[in-house]
């Protein structure tokens, strides 16, 4: 975990890690991926172009990914009650309904949460949690299984932030950067 | 009919059983373990010392593939267009398309996927060329009939099959393909399920001459040999001297890029079938545990294709803490269909007596069990599939 300053008077506490296994070791998860609809030759050509050499394993399903995010948001309410905005990186594919908490008023799913945090900070918002992950949920997805959680705070408290992160499911199988 | 007595459970199985008992899930179901798949792949590849292609027909569950595909570095063999679609967009490892009856949809998909097509015969080659049009194909692989190859050296074949070609047909087909601007990469030989062992050593003896004749007949060099597989899941205790085998492969085929392929050895021990006891009953002293899953979800457990059945003994995972008495005689485990063949296992005398609600966990169900099943029988629901994280 590290601390940094984004704007004068507003500090950042950051947790950066890489998922190195499933945070839900031993749990059963329903087989759920949706096969690609490849109808003709053009579809196969397109899918072929999409393939990459990425060797990062897939450790979580879509639902488990949602659960990880939900857990991070759920724990903010008690661990970091001053947070008014939670910004989460938007992943293109959602194959199941999101948990209600991820659609609540203070949560924003955005393409670039760090840029959005900067915009909010400039407009005077002081306490923002940014969850920026590149966790793979399917081998069609690019990603390196990294996750960065950043707390922008007017009154940063490193011990409290660390306690929050350690309590979250995502921390169970992460290797800190 | 005889019983297979349960072997002592391993620490790995104990951990699985604990995980199953602490969770709620629907039955009948399969549980697949991606970690075990990866471990099995790496161990077999290391033992063989060659490339190892995964035959995905052994377990085409997409969730499992998603979790394991990064392990399958030497490629995947697809036997249908539906299987091929699972691998698309997910890996840059080589793709192989292998089925003697490929329709034009499969062929066109395989060509677009830049898959290596395994050529099975003359008409098959003609169909490939018809699908090819003006496109450039990945170098093709000619499938040689293993029984024919071995017959050539005087080996008597009891289990000849219809796959591939004899050498002269392969030369004719190869020349037809070369004339149509195709390249030939090499050959594919597969001696059949559970064939690994003596038969592979004999194939290694005859292949160099066959390859020489093929290259002469085609007037082009070949670079690739797929020796197939036929490994059982317990290949490590099969008595094969893998060090000697690797030496033979190097000695006989050192000039070629050599691959093996496997499905069963990679997937079988990475899957379990779990069914719940729905009722207990006794007829003239013979006890039965009637379960919510059976041959409609796991046909292979019934062993209807075997002359001598050895019923599998599952692990009993009791519901609740109630004490159980030991059974005095075997308890037959039957499924939910109306077939008298729907006997999927047995608990031996002396085992704990099941009760309604208990789970029965059959191991070694990760390869073929889920797909080699008449799913439409009685319109029964298919088994659910879960991955163990």
pLDDT in tens, B58-98: 999 999 999 999 999 999 999 999 999 999 999 999 999 99
Model confidence band, residue B213 (pLDDT cutoffs 50, 70, 90): very high
Mind telling me how many Å the CA of A149 is from chain B's nearest CA?
Answer: 24
pLDDT value of residue B5: 43
Q: Is the distance from CB of B177 to CB of B218 less than 8 angstroms?
A: no
Chain A: residue nearest B70 by CA?
A55
Beta carbons of B63 and A36 less than 8 Å apart: no
**Is the pLDDT assigned to residue B56 strictly greater than 70?**
yes
What are B140's two structure tokens? 């093709």
Residue B243 CB: number of other CB atoms within 10 A? 10
**Is the pLDDT assigned to residue A177 strictly greater than 80?**
no
Residue B331 CB: number of other CB atoms within 10 A? 25
Stretch B273-281: mean pLDDT: 97
Residue A20 CB: number of other CB atoms within 10 A? 12
Q: Is A48 on the interface with B (CB under 8 A)?
A: yes
d(CA A105, CA A87): 11
Beta carbons of A44 and B62 less than 8 Å apart: no
Percent of chain A with pLDDT over 90: 72
pLDDT value of residue B306: 79
pLDDT value of residue A47: 94
Model confidence band, residue A71 (pLDDT cutoffs 50, 70, 90): very high
Q: Is the distance from CB of B348 to CB of B371 less than 8 angstroms?
A: no
DSSP characters over A14-32: EEEEEE-S-TTTT-EEE--
pLDDT value of residue A127: 95
pLDDT in tens, A75-94: 999 999 999 999 999 887 66
Chain B: residue nearest A37 by CA?
B85
pLDDT in tens, B14-39: 889 999 999 999 999 999 999 999 99
Mean of the per-residue pLDDT values for chain B? 92
Residues paired with B258 in a beta bridge? B225
Chain A: residue nearest B107 by CA?
A41
What are B386's two structure tokens? 């879960």
**Is the pLDDT assigned to residue A176 strictly greater than 80?**
no
All residues of chain B having their beta carbon less than 8 Å from the beta carbon of residue A35 are: 62, 82, 85-86
d(CA A17, CA B193): 45
Q: Is B113 on the interface with A (CB under 8 A)?
A: yes
Beta carbons of A28 and B389 less than 8 Å apart: yes
DSSP characters over B316-334: EE-SSS---PBPSS-EEEE
What structural domains and CATH numbers belong to chain B?
A: 2-31+268-387 (2.40.37.10), 35-266 (3.20.20.10)
d(CA B203, CA B329): 47
Beta carbons of A33 and B67 less than 8 Å apart: no
d(CA A55, CA B92): 10
pLDDT value of residue A94: 67
d(CA B352, CA B94): 49
Which stretches does DSSP call E strand in chain B? 2-3, 29-32, 51-55, 76-78, 95-97, 116-119, 140-144, 184-189, 224-226, 257-262, 271-283, 286-291, 310-311, 315-317, 331-334, 343-347, 359-362, 384-388
pLDDT value of residue B324: 81
Burial code of B100-114, b = ≥16 C-beta within 10 A, e = fewer?
Answer: eebeebbbbbbbbbb
User: CA–CA distance from B288 to each of B214, B271, B329, B335, B344 (Å)?
Assistant: 58, 25, 11, 10, 11
Chain A neighbours among B 137-196 (CB < 8 Å)? none
Inter-chain CB pairs, A–B, below 8 Å: 106
What are A58's two structure tokens? 């897939």
pLDDT value of residue B159: 67
φ, ψ of residue B30 to 5 degrees: the values are -110, 145
Instruction: Map residue B342 onto helix, strand or coil.
Output: coil
Mind telling me how many Å the CA of B92 is from chain A's nearest CA?
Answer: 6
Cα B215 to chain centroid distance, Å, stands at: 31
Higher pLDDT, A41 or B321: A41
User: CA–CA distance from A29 to each of A61, B20, B64 (Å)?
Assistant: 8, 12, 11
DSSP character at residue B114: T
pLDDT value of residue A9: 55
Q: Which residues contact A173 (CB under 8 A, 6 or more apart)?
A: A19, A20, A21, A22, A23, A25, A59
- Of B32-36, B121-125, B197-201, B284-288, the poorest mean pLDDT is in B197-201
Q: What value of ipTM does the predicted structure carry?
A: 0.90
pLDDT value of residue A2: 63
Task: Please provide the distance, in angstroms rounded to a whole number, between the alpha carbons at the two ends of chain A.
Answer: 8
pLDDT value of residue B4: 47
d(CA A99, CA B249): 55
One-letter-per-residue 3-state SS of A97-158: CCCHHHHCCCEEEECCHHHHHHHHHHCCCCCEEEEEECCCCCCCCCCCCEEEEEEEECCCCH
Q: Is A92 on the interface with B (CB under 8 A)?
A: no
All residues of chain B having their beta carbon less than 8 Å from the beta carbon of residue A26 are: 15, 18-19, 388-389
- Closest C-alpha to B331, from B286, B274, B272, B386: B286
Percent of chain B with pLDDT over 90: 78
Q: Is B104 on the interface with A (CB under 8 A)?
A: no
Cα B299 to chain centroid distance, Å, stands at: 15
Task: Please provide the distance, in angstroms rounded to a whole number, between the alpha carbons at the two ends of chain B.
Answer: 37
Stretch B257-282: mean pLDDT: 97
**Is the pLDDT assigned to residue B1 strictly greater than 90?**
no
pLDDT in tens, A8-29: 556 899 999 999 999 999 999 9
Model confidence band, residue B196 (pLDDT cutoffs 50, 70, 90): confident
3-state percent breakdown (helix, strand, coil) of chain B, nearest 5: 35, 20, 45
The whole domain housing A57 covers: 2-176
Chain B: residue nearest A32 by CA?
B63
- Of A164-173, B48-57, B172-181, the poorest mean pLDDT is in A164-173
What are B107's two structure tokens? 């062929």
- Closest C-alpha to B343, from B284, B389, B275: B275
Beta carbons of A45 and B92 less than 8 Å apart: no
Counting the structural domains of chain A, the total is 1
All residues of chain A having their beta carbon less than 8 Å from the beta carbon of residue B132 are: none
All residues of chain B having their beta carbon less than 8 Å from the beta carbon of residue A31 are: 32, 61-64, 384-387
Residue A29 CB: number of other CB atoms within 10 A? 20
d(CA A73, CA A87): 10
pLDDT value of residue B308: 80
């Amino acid at each position: 975990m590290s601390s940094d300053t984004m704007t004068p008077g507003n500090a950042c506490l950051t947790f950066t890690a890489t998922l190195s296994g499933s945070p839900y070791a031993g749990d059963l998860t329903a087989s759920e991926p949706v096969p690609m609809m490849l109808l003709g030759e053009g579809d196969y050509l397109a899918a072929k172009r999409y393939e990459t050499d990425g060797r990062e394993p897939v450790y979580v399903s879509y639902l488990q990914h949602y659960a990880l995010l939900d857990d991070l948001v759920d724990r903010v309410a008690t661990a970091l009650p001053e947070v008014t905005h939670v910004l989460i990186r938007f992943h293109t594919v959602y194959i199941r309904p999101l948990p209600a908490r991820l659609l609540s008023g203070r949560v924003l799913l955005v393409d670039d949460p760090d840029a959005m945090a900067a915009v909010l900070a400039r407009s005077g918002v002081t306490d923002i949690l940014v969850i920026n992950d590149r966790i793979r949920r399917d081998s069609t997805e690019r990603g390196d299984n990294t996750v960065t959680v950043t707390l922008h705070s007017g009154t940063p408290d490193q011990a409290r932030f660390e306690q929050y992160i350690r309590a979250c499911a995502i921390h169970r199988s992460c290797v800190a950067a | 009919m005889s019983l297979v007595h349960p072997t002592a459970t391993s620490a790995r199985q104990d951990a699985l059983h604990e995980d199953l008992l602490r969770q709620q899930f629907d039955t009948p179901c399969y549980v697949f373990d991606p970690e075990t798949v990866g471990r099995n792949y790496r161990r077999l590849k290391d033992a063989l010392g060659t490339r190892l292609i995964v035959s995905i027909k052994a377990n085409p569950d997409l969730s499992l593939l998603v979790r394991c595909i990064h392990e399958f570095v030497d490629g995947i063999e697809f036997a249908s267009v539906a299987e091929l679609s699972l691998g698309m967009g997910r890996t840059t490892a080589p793709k192989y398309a292998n089925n003697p009856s490929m329709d034009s949809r499969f062929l066109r998909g395989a060509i677009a996927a830049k898959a290596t097509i395994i050529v099975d015969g003359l008409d098959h080659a003609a169909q490939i060329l018809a699908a090819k049009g003006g496109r450039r194909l990945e170098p093709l692989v000619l499938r040689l009939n293993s029984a024919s190859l071995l017959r050539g050296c005087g080996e008597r074949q009891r289990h000849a099959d219809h796959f591939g070609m004899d050498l002269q047909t392969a030369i004719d087909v190869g020349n037809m393909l070369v004339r149509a601007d195709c390249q030939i990469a090499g050959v594919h030989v597969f001696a059949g399920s559970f064939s690994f062992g003596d038969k592979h050593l004999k194939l290694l003896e005859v292949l160099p001459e066959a390859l020489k004749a093929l290259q002469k007949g085609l007037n082009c060099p070949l670079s690739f040999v797929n020796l197939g597989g036929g490994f059982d899941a317990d290949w490590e205790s099969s008595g094969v001297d893998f060090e000697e085998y690797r030496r033979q492969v190097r000695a006989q085929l050192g000039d070629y890029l050599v691959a093996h392929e496997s499905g069963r050895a990679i997937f079988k021990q990475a899957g379990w079938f779990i069914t719940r006891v729905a009722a207990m009953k006794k007829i003239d002293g013979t006890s039965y545990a009637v379960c919510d899953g059976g041959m409609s979800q796991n046909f292979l457990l019934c062993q209807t294709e075997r002359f001598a059945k050895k019923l599998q003994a599952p692990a009993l995972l009791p519901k609740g803490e109630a004490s159980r008495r030991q059974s005095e005689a075997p308890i037959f485990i039957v499924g939910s269909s109306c077939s008298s063949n729907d006997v999927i296992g047995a608990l031996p005398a002396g085992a704990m007596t099941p009760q309604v609600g208990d789970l029965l966990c059959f191991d070694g169900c990760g390869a073929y069990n889920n797909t080699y099943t008449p799913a439409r029988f009685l319109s029964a629901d298919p088994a659910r599939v879960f991955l163990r994280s």
